[in-house]
Homo-oligomer: A and B are copies of this chain.
Amino acid sequence: MPSVRTPDPNPGWLSEFALDEARSRVPILYVEAVPVRVDSLGRIEHVGLLLRGSASGELTRSLVSGRVFHGESIREALLRNLEKDLGPAAFPRLPVSTIPVAVAEYFPLPGVTPLHDPRQHAVALVYVVPVTGDCAPRQDALELTWLTPAEALAQEVIDDLEGGRGSLLRQALAHAGALEA
């Protein structure tokens, strides 16, 4: 069964078995992106959150997220995963620098950090990415919801974000100065 937490529906060059072995040995590198709509001054107007159905039937929210493949650059992984989750017509504007706005560390045991991934030790480089085109969520995502920063930071939305990513969303919006008092 493919994992529901951080799905790799196209595991690329790797069988699930080989990937599971690597997962037990080294931290797995991910990229995550917070898709945003910005105005002409660069201010965030809306934040895009994915709605996914989990294996247990629960609905959870998520960010754009995916593994960096062997031989793939950070920028290529970011673009590939944005297209995977938002469709080919989202026209993301990748950041000029690969320095992330946050480094997210997921451990298999809950409680080490606010972040948690039962499958693996994962480290994700997190970016805020403006998108200008039409987003059509693909794969296992049911829907992409556009929320204002204030709506996205409401406690019930934060709580719906899987794996503790609510704190990550807060961190990304804080970096953009879109955190209200």
A contact set with B: CB distance below 8 Å: 13-14, 18-19, 21-22, 24-29, 36, 38, 40-44, 67-76, 79, 93-103, 105, 107, 112-114, 121, 123, 125, 128, 130, 158-159, 164, 166-167, 170-171, 174-177, 179-181
Contacts and interface: CB of A to CB of B under 8 A. Distances in A.
Contacts of A159: 181
Nearest to A42: B94
Give the number of times this chain occurs in the complex, counting copies.
Answer: 4
24 contacts: A14-B26, A21-B25, A22-B25, A25-B70, A26-B67, A26-B70, A27-B70, A27-B72, A29-B123, A40-B79, A42-B96, A71-B121, A73-B112, A96-B130, A97-B177, A98-B177, A99-B100, A99-B101, A102-B177, A114-B180, A167-B181, A170-B174, A171-B174, A171-B177
Contact of A181 (B72, B114, B180): B114
Central interface residue in A18, A43, A170, by most chain B CB within 10 Å: A170
Contacts of A25: 13-14, 18-19, 21-22, 70
Given A174-B175, A181-B167, A74 B96 contact: no
